[in-house]
Amino acid sequence: MTSQECLDLLRGVKDVAFATVDEQGRPQNRIVDVMIAEEGSIYFCTARGKDFYHQLLATGRAAVTGMDAAYRMVRLDGRVTRLGEQRAWIDRIFAENPPMETTYPGESRYILEPFRLEPDRIEFFDIGGEHPLREVVLDRDRETSLFVIGDGCIGCGTCAAACPHGCIAEGTPFAIDQSLCLRCGLCSESCPVQAIGRRR
Ligand code: SF4
Ligand code: SF4
């Protein structure tokens, strides 16, 4: 999957979960429409009276998760920017999402303000098949944690036997197929010589 294909998946789902943190650092979550997905960003809007609006301005960040009917899921987080040319963006959002007129008829639409979310990190999951797939599509800050087998591996095979997805191959050292790994940590807990660690 490319970054844009992931954003297009979220646009297709449209109603996705947006997470922010409030003034006390508590996580907050709500469903928000993805109004536009283009040029590596998604666009959405919210009303000036909402806590969500103020959390976006205070933190400048949001995390988004959405899953389609085929159990393909995208998770991302990134930087949020309040857009200029506010009325022009709101008019475009309404033109491309006609049901919005029902909720905010006439001039009331301008209580909404448009935002762009530019992802720093995108992960794609396909959990509809026999083996769940996971792909780090974008990781600007290299923050994604992976389980990795180090040189301390003595080749006992305990991790491969314990792995629920059979994604550890024999070798020197043994190796994890990251596209299949659930990052459950069972291999790390099973290794008798602590050769498996979390790495960013
Ligand atoms: S359990 Fe540890 S030592 Fe044994 S094969 Fe796996 S990584 Fe290597
Ligand atoms: S973290 Fe879980 S799924 Fe991934 S290799 Fe280890 S045991 Fe297997």
Q: Which two tokens stand for residue 29?
A: 């979550």
pLDDT digits (tens, 9 = 90+) for 2-19: 999 999 999 999 999 999
Average pLDDT score over residue span 138-152? 87
- Residue-level pLDDT at 144: 74
Q: Same fold for the domain at 3-139 and the one at 146-199?
A: no
Ligand 2: residue of 127, 148, 158, 168 to mutate (most ligand atoms within 8 A of CB) is 168
Q: What pTM was estimated for this model as a whole? A: 0.83
Q: Does 62 score more than 80 pLDDT?
A: yes
Ligand 2 binding pocket mutation candidate from 127, 147, 170, 179 (most atoms within 8 A of CB): 147
Average pLDDT over residues 56-69: 98
User: Residues 106, 87: contact at Cβ < 8 Å?
Assistant: no
Residues with C-beta less than 6 Å from any ligand 2 atom? 147, 162-165, 167-168, 176, 181-187
Cα 65 from Cα 105, distance rounded (Å): 29
The pLDDT value recorded for residue 145 is 81
Which atom of ligand 2 is found nearest the CA of 147?
Answer: 1
Q: What is the CATH T-level fold of the domain 3-139, as seen in this structure?
A: Pnp Oxidase; Chain A (2.30.110)
Which protein residue has the closest C-alpha to ligand 1 atom 7?
Answer: 153
Closest CA to 122 of 39, 65, 72: 65
CATH of 146-199 among 3.30.70.20, 3.30.1330.10, 3.30.565.10, 1.10.10.10: 3.30.70.20
Q: What is the largest CA-CA distance in the chain?
A: 70
- Whether the pLDDT of residue 66 is over 90: the answer is yes
Residue pair 164/190 in contact by the 8 Å Cβ criterion: no
User: Alpha-carbon torsion 47, 51, 54, 58, what sign?
Assistant: negative
pLDDT at 173 over 80: yes
- Distance from the Cα of residue 106 to its chain's centroid: 34
Q: What is the pLDDT of residue 193?
A: 97
Residue-range domain boundaries for the chain: 3-139, 146-199
